[in-house]
Amino acid sequence: MNNIMKTLLLYITSAAILFANAGAGCGSKSATVDPQPDGFQSLLGKWQAQRATYEVTEQNGNYFESGPDFIKNGVTIIWEFLGDGRLRSTVDGKSREVRWKLNVTRLSGQNIDLGTLTIIGDDERSLAQSLGQTGDLTYNIGTMATGSSGFAVMYLSADVTSQGPYKKNILRYTYHKL
């Protein structure tokens, strides 16, 4: 597969995963479930997606990274984490709500070093199954605040190897707190 086709495949997969997760139809039966987030207050609030990056290892062992920069491409994705377990997802002005659950396994001060973020909804469960996950859509999560300004970054990652011909394919989203 030549580099142009690989890049095209990465962008198509990224767009499919992103818009299925962030822009699918409103509401679902499972959106009424009331998960209790770990009480990790620094995650609450609005976060804007900056980019998606695929970390790809080809069958021959070659490694490369590729993916869209949402800001440069004019795509606005905002996730608002509410303290009652609701997640309001807004993509280019269109919003919907699902549920979220956070499990933090390691902290460094107020930063999440290691944890999982589960997004709960019928569309998310379907997306999870297409990615080879069982149950609800689950990301590995990490956050960090940088400098004295408290600028915060959130990283979400998922193994999407089942979506393509690669030996390993990790999708990583980068969000900045608004």
Sequence-ordered list of residues with C-beta below 8 angstroms from that of 60, at least 6 positions apart, any chain? none
pTM for the whole thing? 0.77
Domains of the chain by residue range: 3-177
Q: Which of 18-32, 54-68, 130-144 has the lowest mean pLDDT?
A: 18-32
Q: Which residue has the tokens 């992103």?
A: 18
Contact 155, 49 (CB under 8 A): no
Segment (H or E) for 69? none
Model confidence at 39, pLDDT cuts 50, 70, 90, reads low
Rounded distance, CA 135 to CA 129, Å? Answer: 7
Question: For residue 68, is pLDDT > 90?
Answer: yes
E-only strand ranges, 72-110: 77-81, 86-91, 94-108
70: CB partners within 8 A, 6+ apart = 49, 50, 51, 52, 76, 77
CA dist., res. 21 & res. 25, Å (int): 10
* Rounded-to-5 percentages of helix, strand, coil across the chain: 20, 45, 30
Alpha-carbon gap, residue 173 to 124, rounded angstroms:
16
Question: pLDDT tens, 75-101?
Answer: 999 999 999 999 999 999 999 999 999
Residues contacting residue 3 through CB under 8 Å, at least 6 positions apart: none
The per-residue pLDDT for 26 is 39
